[in-house]
Structure 1
Amino acid sequence: MQDGHVNRIFFRFFVLVMLSITAATFVIYFAFSRLFGDPLDDIARRQAAAQIFLLEQYVDKAATDDWLTRLNNVREVSEVRYDLIALGEARSALPDSRRAALDRGEIVLDPSSRSFYRRVDLEGERYIGSHEEVLRAQNLPVDVKQALIMEALRYIIVAVALLVPIALWSRSHWQGLQSLSRVADEFGSGKLTARSQMKPSASIYPLAERINHMADRIEDLLEAQKSLLHSVSHELRTPIARLEFALELLDARAKDPDLSRRIGAMEGDLRELNSLVNELLDMSKLESARNLQAELAELAPVLRGCTQMLPPSPQQLDCTVPDDLGELEIDARLLARAVCNLLRNAQKYAAGRIVLSASRSDGAVEIAVDDDGPGIPDEEREKIFDPFYRLDRSRDRATGGFGLGLSIARKAVALHGGSLRAEGSPLGGARFVITLPV
């Protein structure tokens, strides 16, 4: 997923560069058209330079009474067709933007028809009525298509010259980001020793170094937290065992019924504290995938076995697990612990019915635990998976617990590469859904 995201980033960057080059091409064209005239006219004028030179330097240099003679001489030897047409006809053949230039006696090119127009003169000096006629030259050696291809080729060469260094520069960034993505995936999956091995000459080496420093700090903090949790939990067991032994002795010697009841309550508190220590130790063992002992196992027997591990309860427990769930690579003990935690949670809150179900699709297996209890508000369906989080309702205080069961279940499922979420149940209460990849 991370690789695909990085690929999309660079694909968008490439598209952005191409669009920028295309936009720059149009901006250049329109800017030059506005400042220096249409580039196509300039191309056509260069291609027709010989004919224009012949007209200006040979025909126009003739004496007044010899002008038509020289024009006829040019007609005989040139493949270009020269005609004299009325000024009104020429004006109608040209767009409004070019008529003013024609009126001023300038040569007006029409690349689309491969021709140019120019008035004979402005004062009628060459022959009678010459100021009312226009010289039209047709079949000029003008090939705008070839010129456009040449211009396009120029822009393509410029674009390639820009894209090659950009591509080389981007490739080094892309490889670096791919490496960082893999490190992030490994680190996120619980491999806290994952680090980026990048040369100092790499373009994103400073970023990789900062990420490595961050990973070192996170690993130190998590290891310190895990070590503290594990050490404190182990150290608590010794005074708990001493207190249990002392209370048993005290209870054996107590003759006052009221004192015996108080001792019994204290023993209950100690059992609860001992249970909390055990759950804290379990939490500390689920911080890394290294504790996962996965192997191929049939899923259906594992789920059915969870129903046999529950304490007796007045609720009806239905197990609708099909036989065709197939095999999955799982830690059967750990997954069973997660499902049992969900079932025990359902026992606390269900009014009369609990359902354990499972189904398999092409890409995943879903395991669901439903109950007909009071349910969980939408805004708290994520918070309940936080350690020690308890819903602020009287039913929570009555059922007890430490708020670690659901957190342990989610961590156990996450180590299998799956997810655990809370939903509303068709039974009216809460539904917990485990999704495991196939």
Structure 2
Amino acid sequence: MNRIFFRFFVLVMLSITAATFVIYFAFSRLFGDPLDDIARSQAAAQIFLLEQYVDKAPSDEWLTRLNNVRVVSDVRYDLVTLAEARAALGSSSGTALDRGEIVLDPARRTLFRRVDLSGERYIGSHEEVLRAENLPIDIGQALKMEALRYVIVAIALLLPIALWSRSHWQGLQALSRVADEFGSGKLGARARMKPSEAVYPLAERINHMADRIEDLLEAQKSLLHSVSHELRTPIARLEFALELLDARAKDPDLSRRIGAMEGDLRELNALVNELLDMSKLDSARNLQAAPAPVAPVLRECTEMLPPSPHQLDCVLAEDLGELELDRRLLARAVCNLLRNAQKYATGRILLAATRNPHAVEITVDDDGPGIPEDEREKVFEPFYRLDRSRDRATGGFGLGLSIARKAVALHGGTVRAEASRLGGARFVITLPV
């Protein structure tokens, strides 16, 4: 948000600067250089003497009056050739000089004026130019005046823009905080603004959107929770009926079929439990965080795993320290990753953890077939499986990784899939310190 207003401020400043140059060049083109006008007013006394005293002298007194002016003035007057004057001036000023006009050079505090256009004052006077140097021209003061004028204009523009931007910035900051809270799971977060505020219409639309999203999520969660609970009753009845039927069955083939149905019921019951667990992870209210050491939690995860023929190595750094976490949820996430590794590993599983100044990183590696790069994000979607032909062999419903990601997200962390150095898949949990 700060970047937006910084860019806006820079854009305004650049626009004002560009407008300053455009105004200056436009006025110079249409009405003459403002600095030339200021310099002309500062040298008004010398110009007056030249035009009203020296120029109006008879031909035989012109040089006498010029010498009189030289005596009483601090300005240095001398005669130079027309070619020398043209060389000292540019082409545009040279044209004005040829017309007999007074040409000022404010930077060098000098003016030029042809003595005569027709050569009537003295022989060769049409080829000479009167040059006055050391004029009382202070171009620095003129520049300061111009700069001050544009600074005042810039301030007059920036003050209302700053006040207008500040109100928008505060409103957008408030909306940004609401969006962050809503995205972190606080579905009741809303923007509270007065109707007079500039971003009030946007805040109202965001609130309506949040209301709709909250209603949809609550309806989905309620439906999932209700259906899962309602399924438990017929499942329990079927289990009881199958047990009674199995006790009375004498046919081995019938007993085998009943055993298969009981396996299906256990699988369905496990699915219901998984769905209920997922519905509980949709809100940060279910997080019971407290300071806890990370290493013992990870070691407990290795002890909670079912027996497996694969070798499980646990390499934990000594400086893992403590984190603000829910031990049960974090253990559930890590255990799900370890169970997933048990399903697909061929011989070895590695659980490791390290800590840096910003985060604790927990990795689970296996030497199985790995995960294709284009599917490493999809495996965290509910019910997604890479190889459906092995569903029966490996078990599960495609919910374990999704549950792990939700549990880690409640801690403010992330889970990602990578290629493992063991040749299989690697899952990386990053928890902020």
TM-score exceeds 0.5 = yes
1:109 alignment partner, SS class: strand
Q: Which moved more, 1:26-35 or 1:211-220?
A: 26-35
| From 199, 204, 215, the counterpart of 1:209 | 204
Task: Give the superposition deviation at 1:393.
Answer: 5.0
Per-residue CA distance 1:156-185 (angstroms, 9 max, x = gap): 111111111110000001100111111111
Tell me whether 1:196 sits opposite 2:172 in the alignment: no
1:138 maps to amino acid: E
Q: Which moved more, 1:386-395 or 1:302-311?
A: 386-395
TM-score, structure 2 length as denominator? 0.97
Tell me whether 1:50 sits opposite 2:52 in the alignment: no
Q: Distance in 2 between matches of 1:206 and 1:45?
A: 57
Task: Give the superposition deviation at 1:260.
Answer: 1.1
Q: Which residue does 1:318 correspond to in 2?
A: 313
1:133 maps to amino acid: E
Does the CA-based 8 Å contact 2:317-2:355 persist in structure 1?
no
Tell me whether 1:175 sits opposite 2:170 in the alignment: yes
Q: Distance in 2 between matches of 1:214 and 1:284?
A: 22
Task: Give the superposition deviation at 1:396.
Answer: 4.3
Q: Which residue does 1:18 correspond to in 2?
A: 13
1:327 maps to amino acid: E
Q: Which residue does 1:140 correspond to in 2?
A: 135
Does the CA-based 8 Å contact 2:182-2:188 persist in structure 1?
yes
Tell me whether 1:331 sits opposite 2:322 in the alignment: no
1:165 alignment partner, SS class: helix
Q: Which residue does 1:356 correspond to in 2?
A: 351
2:242 maps to amino acid: L
Unmatched 5+ stretches in structure 1 = 1-5
Q: Which residue does 1:166 correspond to in 2?
A: 161
Q: Distance in 1 between matches of 2:36 and 2:318?
A: 81
2:356 maps to amino acid: S
Q: Distance in 2 between matches of 1:395 and 1:36?
A: 87
Does the CA-based 8 Å contact 2:353-2:361 persist in structure 1?
yes
Distance 1:339 1:129, change over 3 A: same
Q: Which residue does 2:149 correspond to in 1?
A: 154
Does the CA-based 8 Å contact 1:304-1:321 persist in structure 2?
no
Q: Distance in 2 between matches of 1:339 and 1:124?
A: 106
Q: Distance in 2 between matches of 1:344 and 1:404?
A: 12
Q: Distance in 2 between matches of 1:29 and 1:85?
A: 33
Q: Which moved more, 1:323-332 or 1:31-40?
A: 31-40
Q: Distance in 2 between matches of 1:416 and 1:253?
A: 51
Tell me whether 1:256 sits opposite 2:233 in the alignment: no
Tell me whether 1:412 sits opposite 2:433 in the alignment: no
Q: Distance in 2 between matches of 1:433 and 1:126?
A: 99
Tell me whether 1:113 sits opposite 2:116 in the alignment: no
2:161 maps to amino acid: I
Task: Give the superposition deviation at 1:397.
Answer: 5.1
The alignment covers a number of residue pairs equal to 433
Q: Distance in 1 between matches of 2:223 and 2:407?
A: 21
Distance 1:113 1:352, change over 3 A: same
Q: Which moved more, 1:32-41 or 1:158-167?
A: 32-41
1:430 maps to amino acid: A
2:361 maps to amino acid: E
Q: Distance in 2 between matches of 1:320 and 1:85?
A: 95
1:333 maps to amino acid: R
Q: How does 1:384-395 map to 2 (within 5 A)?
A: 384-395=379-390
Q: Which residue does 1:234 correspond to in 2?
A: 229
Task: Give the superposition deviation at 1:18.
Answer: 1.0
% identical equivalent positions: 84
Q: Which residue does 1:8 correspond to in 2?
A: 3
1:325 alignment partner, SS class: coil
2:304 alignment partner, SS class: coil
Tell me whether 1:32 sits opposite 2:35 in the alignment: no
Q: Distance in 2 between matches of 1:176 and 1:430?
A: 46
Q: How does 1:250-399 map to 2 (within 5 A)?
A: 250-396=245-391, 398-399=393-394
Q: Which moved more, 1:40-49 or 1:295-304?
A: 40-49
Does the CA-based 8 Å contact 1:389-1:403 persist in structure 2?
yes
Task: Give the superposition deviation at 1:98.
Answer: 2.2
1:87 maps to amino acid: L
Q: Which residue does 1:3 correspond to in 2?
A: none
1:324 alignment partner, SS class: coil
Does the CA-based 8 Å contact 1:101-1:108 persist in structure 2?
yes
